[in-house]
Amino acid sequence: MNDVVVVGGGPAGFTAAIYAARYKLNTLLITQDIGGQIAQSHKICNYPGFSDIDGVSLSNKMLQHVKDLDVPVAFETVNGVEKTENGFIVKTATNSYETKKVIFTGGTEHRHLGIPGEKEFAGKGVSYCATCDAAFFRDKKIAVIGGGDAAVKAALLLADFGEKVYVIYRKDHFFRAEPAWIELVEQNDKIEILFNEEITEIKGESIVTAVHLKNKDEDLAVDGVFVEIGVQPKLEFLDNLALEKNEGYIKVDSHQVTNVPGFFGAGDITNPVLKQIITAASQGAVAAYSAYNELTKER
């Protein structure tokens, strides 16, 4: 029986595992990847102590920290959590893990455009991860859809590889992006910004060749489309727990406590005001502290 099972290998999960281990809790970390969303970021400049690091390197450092504390890491996907008399059973396709407490840090998944061509050309020019796929678009024409932080950062990275990058955004100014990134985008000769515009179709044959612009009512020739229109939580597989939610995200109090006793939520899955590494890490630490306090009282 574990004291704590932490689900998720992003900053919230890694931090929760580090804190839980240092509270001497018998801890297991289950994650389907290393780093979560930070592994998709080519440049991180705002996490204290790291003024310029790529996301994969930062993820690996966090994972190593967890491993240095002898926390076992299971690379699996959790597909269900069952409440028992003494705690929970956390289930994956091949294993069931018993635990007294669960810290769930599952993060978010990419939103889709839901337009013709998006599904058909996924992996054939349509991508949701500039860090992963930018190098495939060397000297190509690329469209980035969206206007938040992720979109402007993707545009900058893609401009290092592509011949031309169009940022297509339905609003008339960048809405949620950091001013420092916006400035770089505006100064970049390879990047052209199309405000007040949307795409209604992604066209091609075996690979992407164009997107259709709604307001101009014309096709724009591109070889790649990067969809950067935000994220959403994915929690259907926990429906049986009847977790209280807020706009689809797990509702927690300031101790990361949910309405299900013994089940904590941390990181982007709780819809923090600011979805960043530092806030996710902070919530992971608090969740581990809360789990430790509960376990101490129960002993």
Residues tagged active-site: 129, 132-133
CB 251 → ligand FAD: shortest distance, Å?
Answer: 15
The closest of 263, 227, 229 to 245, measured between CA atoms, is 263
- Reading the block at residue 87, the tokens are 């705690």
Q: How many CB atoms lie within 10 A of CB 210?
A: 20
CB 62 within 8 A of CB 11: yes
Total residues binding ligand FAD (CB under 6 A): 34
**Touching ligand FAD, residues 229-268 (CB under 6 A):** 267-268
CB 293 → ligand FAD: shortest distance, Å?
Answer: 22
Closer residue to ligand FAD in complex, CB, 60/209: 60
Q: How many CB atoms lie within 10 A of CB 13?
A: 31
CB 157 → ligand FAD: shortest distance, Å?
Answer: 9
**Touching ligand FAD, residues 280-299 (CB under 6 A):** 280
- Angstrom CA distances, 112 to 1, 28, 235, 292, stand at 39, 32, 17, 38
Closer residue to ligand FAD in complex, CB, 213/277: 277
Figure out which of the listed residues 2, 4, 6, 8 binds ligand FAD, where binding follows CB under 6 A.
8
- The angle, 0 to 180 degrees and rounded to 10, between the axes of the packed helices 11-22 and 55-68 is 20
277 binds ligand FAD (CB under 6 A): yes
107 binds ligand FAD (CB under 6 A): yes
What b/e string do you get for 41-59 counting C-beta neighbours within 10 Å, with b at 16 or more? bbebeeeeeeeebbbbebb
Q: Which residues bind ligand FAD (CB under 6 A)?
A: 7-13, 30-33, 36-38, 40-41, 44, 46-47, 77-78, 105-108, 150, 153, 267-268, 275-278, 280
